[in-house]
Structure 1
Amino acid sequence: MRGDEEARENEAAPRERRQKGRTVAHYCHMLRAFEFWHRKCMHLSFQAFCHFKLRLYSAYKTLLPWLSAVKETGFEKITNEMVHRVSSLGLDSARRQQQQSPDAESAKHVSAPSMSEVTCNWSNRHSDTCKMEGDLRIHGMAGTVYVLSSSNFRPNNSTITIRPYTRKWEQETMLRIREVSIRSTAPEPFSFVIPPKCTVRHDVPAVVFSTGGCGTNFFHAMTDLIVPLYITAREHNGHVQLLVADYQPEWVAKFRPILTALSIYPVIDFDADTAVRCFPSAHVGLESHRILGINPALSRNSYTMMGFRDFLRDVFSLRRPWATPVSRSSGQKPRLVFVLRRHSREVTNEVDAIAALAGLGFEVVVAGPEDVRDMAKIAGVVNSCDVMVGVHGAGLTNMVFLPHNGTIVQIIPWGNLKYPCRFDFGDPAPDMGLRYVEYEANAEETTLKYKYPRDHPVFTDPISIERSGKLWETFLEGQNVTLDIDRFREAMQQVYNSITTE
């Protein structure tokens, strides 16, 4: 029996010695690490130094009981050395405090590390946005914004992603938008992220947004991008750098006059930008309040749509700020622009409609699809008019160029479209300082009567068409309008009377 016990002890001894050897080597390495951080502490600010000391001492207290249980001279030497190192930090701290200026508050302010801050808003129905200030580094090609020494850093929010476009309720649209990552680092000395070094430094804020949604459509360009960009960037009076994800050269070229008025710097193609750009502050995503509208209560500078239209008038050097009543006895005629469509929602008897308008006393100007492509040209034409008329569509967005007190007349196609059409153009009109009139086409004025019998749901239950998911192809893409000229003339006579005097 005794021989068996001695044999087991002899077998265990080598294993115990090997384990102790590995442990000694491991904690010798730890001691060297402690020595490194001890030297590093000499260069920390006092505030950061105190945080580090607490962490170091906590780690030491965790290890000490286990180390003390090992009865080896080498281990006792290690633990004593660690105690000495941790304790010496306190002595060094006291010496540093004694060497500081008597004005403790001032010294503390000077030595405190600069902190960055990130604030995000996820509650807006239209868009997610993040604002940040401090040490910011933007690497466009990597799609990343680095926020160094974030004061509100948490491990669970160290990296967040955002799609900087303003139709977040449309999942299909948002999937086309490039994600931008915002990566925050912990305050020094606890950050283990090594951010890229600045290659370009800016002393103005950055605004990051995408043109990858529906921006080529003029209605969406205005409501999804231009109005939100005005809300977000106008306060900087041109001293802001625009970075565009999902860069579309044709979009930037078309809206360059507006972009130039919002920023004095060339627009940067975010996705192709290899530089690491450092900014003092940044705004990822655009503020958006409503369709073709601004809520002054939500705007930091109480911006309004009237102010936005004044801004556009300045951009395009438009002459008429206000539309005034025309005296019929003077021989002058109120000017009306008729916005025409092609391929869908076209007025099939436009010649008769124009003749009826002229017969009422309007000076009629026709603007077809080729005319509205030149934004500066159509802006001048619309601003010279008192009234705009057209079938529901993106062309009516040019109402932003009408003078204040102008009138917009929307022809609504058949298909129970009154409320969605009013939502797009009727509801925004009052905030723009415009009067809104709608002319709703009836079942006799739609070309759908040549495609479907009168007992078809297209006529008896248009809402069922919407529920089936065929609203767009049936009522927006699938019909044209043949105006009842007598009915149309009667409606426009009221408009004429409202903008003229004896």
Structure 2
Amino acid sequence: MMHGAIIAKSFGRFKRKKLVYGAFVACSFLVLSFCAVFRFRPYLGPSLTLVENIMAKQEQRCNSTVFQSKTSSMTNQLMAENAMKQREPPCHVMDLRSELYNITGEVRINAKSSTVFISSPEKRNLFGGYNSWKIRPYARNKDLRAMNHVREWSIIPAFSDVQVPQCTQNHTIASILFSTGGYAGNHFHDFSDIIIPLYLTSRPFNGKVQFLISDCRSWWVTKFQAILQNLSYYPIINIDQEEEVHCFPSILMGLQRHGELNIDPSKSPYTMRDFREFLRNTYSLKRRNAVRLRPGDTRKPRLLVISRKRTRSFTNSTNIAETAESMGFEVIVAEADIHVARFAEIMNSCDVVMGIHGAGLTNVLFLPEGAVMIQVVPLGGVELVAKTYFGVPSKEMNIRYLEYKIGTKESTLIEQFPLDHMALKNPYLFHRCNLEAFKLGYLDKQNVTIDVRRFKPTLLKALELLHE
């Protein structure tokens, strides 16, 4: 009332009307803006080529004001999720990155209906009267783009009205059901979304576990056959194609994932160093430690230059190699491909590796302890993502990390734009957080011509690290 009296005294009748109308228009504009941003803005999660990962980070910068306005909405969403988790059965585990169901008791799997039946009547109290749950068993549960390519499975307790099928194949070991849909096929996502989570989830069974793969791709199984065989003693079951009703004493549906190319030791008895030791054993890699140089040492550390043929490639690999060789390196140039064992052996033979930001750098997993990784960051504002996805994980792998941000004149984009063009001076403003514009301009059409004189101090730093 006091505020109303003050306003009445301060404004005449006509001015009060203008004030009311103005406030109404302003509020309407804010509501419409809010709806436009959150209803029609496309979802940007991680993509097959890391593009959406980059864009998600850039979008936070471009729309910092919008991000702040979403805080209360996100809080409400988290509260709703917590309430939902309280209604889920105790066998359900979920975090911001992955979800899984750990179900014990007789489990019957009918692939025809994409259903897992829990047939133990004594488990009734465990499920609190709920008749079914659904899960897409891929470890990126908040990513709608990825989940669109993952088969959905239902979990139904035996006390529901649905008739439980009879077992036609009985097993005496535990099982894990997971998907190779989503972003499988991109080397980074293969490890970050599937291989490392599968290691975390299956390692406690010491090989005595049956893998059931949904959305199974035969080429993917062939690519990672050595890893799969070292995690399970049993042949893979392509569960989507099964006509039989498989029965197990327990099942884990989904995989545990801690982050991008990462294992959180506070959540697991395993570490990234344990995982890298597992990879060394799997591929019979000879070197555990990188070379340690001493004063007067005549040994030449081995430098690998990761080449790329299609996008973000070095246009002067020969020049880079010659410069490095003049500084005392033995240099090889190679491109990563589907033959994991071959490239793992090459990586393990090196002391330093350099490459442009992209999925090929995932192979640092095979470097020996104490090796050095040099990530070359192209134009486009990807510094934060580059460090998050490769810089931070390298520390947990005991890999020394160096970053080289290219100058404008080292990008082939100068062949498309003048030096003072917005595309070079302000990438964020140029592509305006548009995924297709960013991908086309900065990833598909950008190569790198290293200025070897500018790059030389980075190579000297790598040598220095090998002396420590």
Give TM-score, length-normalised by structure 1.
0.72
Looking at structure 1, the residues matched to 260 and 377 of structure 2 have their Cα atoms a distance apart, in angstroms, of 18
Mapped contact 1:334–1:500 kept (Cα < 8 A): no
Cα shift readout 1:325-374 (whole Å, capped 9, x = no counterpart): 123623211111111111210111111011111111111121124xx332
1:120 aligns with 2:86: no
Alignment partner of 2:136 out of 163, 166, 174: 163
Shift of 1:471: 2.2
1:468 aligns with 2:434: yes
- What corresponds to 1:44 in structure 2? none
Going from structure 1 to structure 2, the CA distance change for 1:169 and 1:449 (only over 3 Å counts) comes to farther
Larger CA Rg, structure 1 vs 2: 1
- What corresponds to 2:353 in structure 1? 388
1:379 aligns with 2:331: no
- What corresponds to 2:249 in structure 1? 280
Cα shift readout 1:215-242 (whole Å, capped 9, x = no counterpart): 1111110101000000000110000000
Looking at structure 2, the residues matched to 462 and 332 of structure 1 have their Cα atoms a distance apart, in angstroms, of 43
1:245 aligns with 2:214: yes
Alignment partner of 2:364 out of 399, 417, 421: 399
Cα shift readout 1:253-287 (whole Å, capped 9, x = no counterpart): 01000000000000000110111111111110100
Identity percentage over the alignment?
37
Give the letter aligned to residue 340 of structure 2: M
SS in structure 2 of the partner of residue 347 of structure 1: coil
1:340 aligns with 2:307: yes
Mapped contact 1:146–1:182 kept (Cα < 8 A): yes
Alignment partner of 2:126 out of 141, 152, 173: 152
Give the letter aligned to residue 177 of structure 1: V
Structure 2: give runs of 5+ residues left out of the alignment: 1-88
Mapped contact 1:337–1:389 kept (Cα < 8 A): yes
Structure 1: give runs of 5+ residues left out of the alignment: 1-116
- What corresponds to 1:430 in structure 2? 395
Shift of 1:312: 0.4
Looking at structure 1, the residues matched to 166 and 369 of structure 2 have their Cα atoms a distance apart, in angstroms, of 50
Give the letter aligned to residue 396 of structure 2: D
Shift of 1:121: 2.2
Looking at structure 1, the residues matched to 90 and 105 of structure 2 have their Cα atoms a distance apart, in angstroms, of 9
Looking at structure 2, the residues matched to 285 and 453 of structure 1 have their Cα atoms a distance apart, in angstroms, of 50
Looking at structure 2, the residues matched to 463 and 169 of structure 1 have their Cα atoms a distance apart, in angstroms, of 25
Going from structure 1 to structure 2, the CA distance change for 1:177 and 1:466 (only over 3 Å counts) comes to farther
1:175 aligns with 2:144: no
Cα shift readout 1:407-461 (whole Å, capped 9, x = no counterpart): 1110000111111111111010011111110101111111111112334321232
Alignment partner of 1:304 out of 271, 275, 280: 271
SS in structure 2 of the partner of residue 329 of structure 1: coil
SS in structure 1 of the partner of residue 126 of structure 2: coil
SS in structure 2 of the partner of residue 166 of structure 1: coil
SS in structure 1 of the partner of residue 266 of structure 2: helix
Shift of 1:162: 0.6
Cα shift readout 1:371-399 (whole Å, capped 9, x = no counterpart): x3321111111111111111111111110
Going from structure 1 to structure 2, the CA distance change for 1:427 and 1:414 (only over 3 Å counts) comes to same
Alignment partner of 1:417 out of 359, 372, 382: 382
Runs of 4+ in structure 1 displaced over 4 angstroms? none
Alignment partner of 2:289 out of 322, 346, 356: 322
Mapped contact 2:148–2:182 kept (Cα < 8 A): no
Going from structure 1 to structure 2, the CA distance change for 1:466 and 1:401 (only over 3 Å counts) comes to farther
- What corresponds to 1:228 in structure 2? 197
Bigger shift: 321-330 or 399-408? 321-330
Give the letter aligned to residue 274 of structure 1: E
Give the letter aligned to residue 219 of structure 1: F
Give TM-score, length-normalised by structure 2.
0.77
Greater RCO (Cα-Cα under 8 Å, separation 6 or more): 2
Shift of 1:192: 4.0
- What corresponds to 2:100 in structure 1? 129
Bigger shift: 472-481 or 450-459? 450-459
Mapped contact 1:348–1:481 kept (Cα < 8 A): yes
- What corresponds to 1:257 in structure 2? 226
- What corresponds to 1:478 in structure 2? 445
1:349 aligns with 2:321: no
